[in-house]
Structures are given as structure tokens and as C-alpha cells.
Amino acid sequence: MYMYYEFQFGNLFLCLGVISVCKWLQDKMTASNVSRQRIDTVLGALLLAVLVFLHTEVVTFKTYTLGGISYDWVFLNIQIILFIFMAVTVSSRIGAAYLTGTLALFYWERGFFTMWRGWLSFFAVLALAYVLCYYGTMMLEHYWRVLPIAFMISIIIWYTVGLQMRGDTFSDWAINFIAFALQLLLVNAFNLRLRRDYSREMTLTKQATHDEMTGLHNFRAFSADLHDIYATRADATSYFVLVTMDIDHFKRINDTYGHLVGNDVLHQTAGALADLVQDYGAGSRAYRTGGEEFSLIVRLPEHDDQQINELCRVIQYNIRKQSLQVGNDTIHWTVSIGCNYVDQGDSGYLEVFRRADKDLYNSKENGRDAITVHGELLAE
């Protein structure tokens, strides 16, 4: 009997370890701007691999019993908990696909598909898992919301298991339920603590690297990102360009309409730039580098002058079409743009910033609302 409980504790620590690894991977990939779909694929594959490993243990030990209690219960509990953790964590279509595959493997291995009630159980569990999958983000804000659905999933699976089990007593079921409940509560508490610690860490990190008014990355993050690009450029297969810009006559807007309206202009400009940079994928970011100064680091697959020029014209067009209504006045504004590219021959990351800044002032000296790319003023 002692060995049974040793297996239960061993599985609990296995589950906590798997959750820790998943959280670590998720944090690392999120910090590296990896897409949500790719993160879900990695996490889903990892959890599926662990569940497959547990299935092989079930095949090995399910014929063994100790003190009338089957080892099958030991692995059943941890499989259900990891399945629920997958449903809550991997919240996307990819997650739904992994849930379907995992549950199908689970039911097939145990022979549940040979019974019509097994099929009903399969679809009931899958529906509840989809609820967790699609509302996982909301439920993680108050993780105890997961518990009722988790117990519903477990009861349905236990009922299906009971259709094939012979000889288990009420005490066997009671011991299994108590063990499962304790494990699920401990896993929930552990996962909740991890997420709270991560949320606190992310809040502090964001305060250090983001501009409070606009939500864009600040000059500190800008310098760090440029430094990283130069530190890894020898191995990089991508091409980076730096776009700097100033809002034209911003002081006049402040003096005429007040600083609150000026703040609205900054916020709206930041939103337009943030939306635009998303089209260029991972590695591209928007920054507020000064009062009315903004910068973009854009990642391109190759050095294409026409694409760089088009990028600057798109920025110019998107800012020109912005507007604010202040009383009877409609405010429009423009930006002066300087653009340069990361050169393999640069001795440091500040060189490209100096070149782009010089291009920016060339645009301002030529009437503003202008674009200068690598020292050349673009014609309208």
C-alpha cells in the first residue's frame, strides 16, 4: 500500500515539473516575440509527449494491483490533470486539435470506443475541454473557476472507466477521488502562484521598458534592441532598417490646443505605428524615443530599396490620415521621416541611429512632412 502512495506523490511532482517547464518555455518564447500559434504548438506537443509516456506506463502496470487498488488509478489521475492543464493553457485552434488527439488516444488505448456510452463520454469530455480551451485566458484570471469543469471532466472519465472495471470497492473509488482532489488543488495553487509571480515580473519589466503614455517601447528598450541586433548580426539572415520620425510643429499643437490634446496626438500616432509594425512580423517594433519622437525597427527578408521606400511612404500616409476633433476644429498632423539600414561595417549600434537621425533632420530642413532614406530625399 505504501508503494501506491509513493506513486501518487511521484506523479504529483512529475506534474508540477511539467507545469514549471511549460511556464518557463511560454515565458521565454513570449519574451522573444514568438507567435502565439507557435507557442501553443510547442506546449501542446510537450504535453502530448508526456501523456503518451504516461500511456506507456499504463500499458505496463495496469495488470498489476496492490492491496486491491489498481495502479491504473495512479496514472489515470495524473493524465486527467495534465489533460485539463493542456485545455486551460493552450487556448487556440491548435490547442483544440491537440485536445482532440490526446483524448482520442486516451479513449482508444483504454478500449472505450467499443462501447456506445464510451462515445457519448468522449464527446461530453471534449465539449467541456473546448470550453476550457476557448475561455482559458478568462478563467486563469480566477483559476478556481476551472475546478467545477475539471471535476465534471474527471467524473465523466471515471464513470467510463467504471464501465470496464471489475472488483473495485467503494473505498477504492473514495481513495482515488481524495487523491485526485488533493492533487488537482495543489496543481492549481502551484500554477496560480507561478502565474502571479510572472504577472508581477512582467509588470515591473513593462514599467522599465515601455512608455507609460503611449504603451510603446521606450528609449531604453530601443537601445537594448539595437544593441542585440548588432550583437547577432553576423549570424542573422534578416535585414533591419531603422526609421526615425518627429511630429511636425508639435509645439504649435500644444500651444494652440493644450497639452491634453497634444497627449491625444501622441497616443493616436503611437497606435497607428503599432498597428503598422505588426504587418512586418516578429523582430519589428515601434518605440517612443523622446517627446514627439518615434522610431521603428523593421525586419525585412532582404535588402530591397523599393520596399524600404514603400515602408516610409506607408508611414507618411497613415499619419497624414489621422485626425482629432477639438471643438469646431479638425486637427491633422504630419511627420518628418529619416530612414537608414543596419550596416555590417558599423562598429556599433549607435552608428545607424546617428545616420537615421541625420536623415530625419534633412527631412525637417526640406520643408517637413518629407522622407529621407540613406541621405536621399524622396520626391513626392
Mark whether 166 and 204 lie in a shared domain.
yes
Choice between 311 and 171, residue whose per-residue pLDDT is larger? 311
Per the structure, the count of domains in the chain is 2
Residue 153 lies in a domain: yes
- For residues 173 and 51, state if they share a domain: yes
**Do the bridges between strand 293-300 and strand 239-247 make them parallel or antiparallel, or are there none, so unpaired?**
antiparallel
Residue 58 lies in a domain: yes
Q: What is the pTM of this model?
A: 0.53
Looking up residue 367, the CATH number of its domain turns out to be 3.30.70.270
As given in the structure block, the three cell numbers for residue 253 are 499643437
Residue 138: its pLDDT value, please?
Answer: 76
Q: Are residues 85 and 26 in the same domain?
A: yes
Whether 227 has a pLDDT exceeding 60, the answer reads yes
Has residue 354 been placed in a domain?
Answer: yes
User: Does 214 reside within a domain?
Assistant: no
Alpha-carbon span 25 to 336, nearest angstrom? 41
Distance CA 310, CA 258 (A): 34
- pLDDT score at 2: 44
- What residues make up the domain containing 33? 2-208
> And the C-alpha cell for 255?
500651444
> Which tens digits make up the pLDDT trace of 228-284?
887 776 555 668 889 999 999 999 999 998 989 999 999 999 999 988 888 876 778
Q: How far is residue 176's CA from residue 173's CA, in Å, rounded to a whole number? A: 5
3-state secondary structure of 205: helix
Helices 116-134, 146-162: inter-axial angle, 10-degree rounding? 170
- 110 with 228, same domain? no
> Is the domain of 16 the same as that of 165?
yes
* pLDDT tens, residue by residue, 149-166: 888 988 888 888 777 766
